[in-house]
Structure formats: structure tokens, C-alpha cells
Amino acid sequence: MKILIIEDESINANRLKRLLEELEPDCEILDVIDTVQGSVKWLNSNDMPDLITMDIRLADGISFSIFEEVKITCPIIFTTAYDEYAVRAFKVNSIDYLMKPIEKTELEQALTKFKSVSKVQNNTEDIAVILKGFMNKPSFRLRFLVTFRDGYKSVDVADIDFVYSEFKTSHLFLQNGTTIPIPQTMEELEEELDPDLFFRANRQFFIRAESIKSIANYFNAKLKIQLKADPEREVIISREKAPFFKQWMDR
């Protein structure tokens, strides 16, 4: 299996390369390309690989621009750290998509899917539709309708300090210090909350930049976050997620 990796962050590319070689010892990583123009040049100068893993946002633009200059006839596994909601649309022209940091089990499932597909054809019209949809900012949740006394009340997303999960129930922690349970799972919230505003620190927490009191190095290259409104509650960010958190904060 000949694989081309299109990824602009070396830490992600190296992790993906290592996982691919673990899962497919006989695979050949043809190259790692970090730009749209570099990808176009490579694809126009080499035979089509068996599979491409493609990051959505590259150093010089969105990777869907590649399709405007090259007809890609092999299957693609998309990877992304952003736009979780919009990424649903990519499945119409891909084997799968993976959210960063890439998990080994999810990559294995995507490769299994790839093996079951004999041929995937991409056409310019379909890619244009995807590109147009991607360029339009997805619609994220603006408010929550929650139960209140004998009725309901509306809670604006702007009033949320952070979100946490406890005893299998999601809770909104508001800026006024109140806590409200909601029926949505953390996985559902990952699609509904704007990733520019909320970072999923781990399975239990979504945090906002404004909610952070301090960021400290933790053992094994992890990070420990202290929240302004609830300093006793520790939020640990894994070594794999730490680079993405730093990138999210440093904008």
C-alpha cells in the first residue's frame, strides 16, 4: 500500500506515519507534503498513490483547493483539528475523516474501510460543492433552552464559562456561578459548540480561553489548567492534545 501524507504540522505527520507503519507494516509512505502548492506539484509529477491522508487546513490554504488543479482518483482520509460540525460534509467524497489527535483505533477503522473500497472517484463538481460549504462558516449553537421551575428559560452560549461532564451528565457552568444540567452528550456538544470559542480539553471538559486562570506544565508533557471560577477543579490536557491547545490559545 503506497500512502501520501498531506499534513503541515510535523508532530501530527510523524504520529500519523508511525501509526500507519504499526497498522500496515508493509505500507510505503511515499512522502509528507505540507502545502497546497507542494501537493499539487507532487501529484502532477508522480503516480497516484493508493491512499492519501489529507489535513484540511494547510500552511498555504485549505486542502480542497488541490482538487481544483489535480484530478485525484484514489481514496482519501481527511484529518482535521477544527470545524467538527462542517466536517460531516466531507464524507461524500472520502473514505473517512479523523479528528486530531489521531487515535490508533480510529485510524485502523478507516484503513479497514479503505480496504473494502475498490475504487473511489472524485469529480470537480462534487469537490466544488464541498469547498463552497466549507468556506461558509458552519452554524453553531447560539443558546440552550433549559428547564426552569415549571417552564423553560434560554441560556446564551456567551454566558457559559465552561462545560463539564459528571456522572454521565453534561453541565453548563455559567459566568454567574450557577450550574445547569443539559441532555446533550459531550460528543453532541463537540459538534454544536463553536471550536473557535470552546476547546475540548478532555472527555470531561470544554473550556473557553476566558475561563482559564493558569496553565501549568504537568508530568509526561501534559498540561494542567486551573479555572478562574472553580480553581479546585483540575483540567488535565493530554500530551497528544497539548500542542493543539497551545495553537488554539496562541491566535
Do 239 and 118 lie in a common domain? no
Do 117 and 47 lie in a common domain? yes
Q: What is the CATH number of the domain that holds 180?
A: 2.40.50.1020
Name the domain boundary from 113, 135, 157.
Answer: 135
Containing structural domain, residue 228: 143-249
CA pair distance 161, 175, nearest whole angstrom: 5
Residue 224 has pLDDT above 80, yes or no: yes
With pLDDT > 70 as the criterion, what percentage of the chain qualifies? 86
CA pair distance 115, 96, nearest whole angstrom: 12
Do 112 and 166 lie in a common domain? no
CA 56 to each of CA 82, 97, 125, 248: distance values in angstroms, whole numbers, following the listed order = 9, 10, 18, 16
Q: Which of 181, 188, 229 is nearest to 207 (CA)?
A: 229
Residue 44 has pLDDT above 80, yes or no: yes
Name the domain boundary from 83, 116, 135.
Answer: 135
Do 58 and 161 lie in a common domain? no
Q: For the residues 34-52, what does the mean pLDDT come to?
A: 94
CA pair distance 58, 60, nearest whole angstrom: 6
Lowest-pLDDT choice from 22-36, 60-74, 88-102, 154-168: 88-102
Do 9 and 131 lie in a common domain? yes
Quick: pLDDT tens for 95-137: 777 877 888 998 998 898 888 764 444 444 454 455 455 444 5
Do 9 and 75 lie in a common domain? yes
Total domains present in the chain: 2
Do 53 and 84 lie in a common domain? yes
236 confidence band (pLDDT: 50, 70, 90): very high
Do 245 and 185 lie in a common domain? yes
DSSP 88: G
DSSP 48: P
Do 213 and 109 lie in a common domain? no
Do 65 and 182 lie in a common domain? no
Q: What is the CATH number of the domain that holds 84?
A: 3.40.50.2300
pTM: 0.51
Do 159 and 230 lie in a common domain? yes
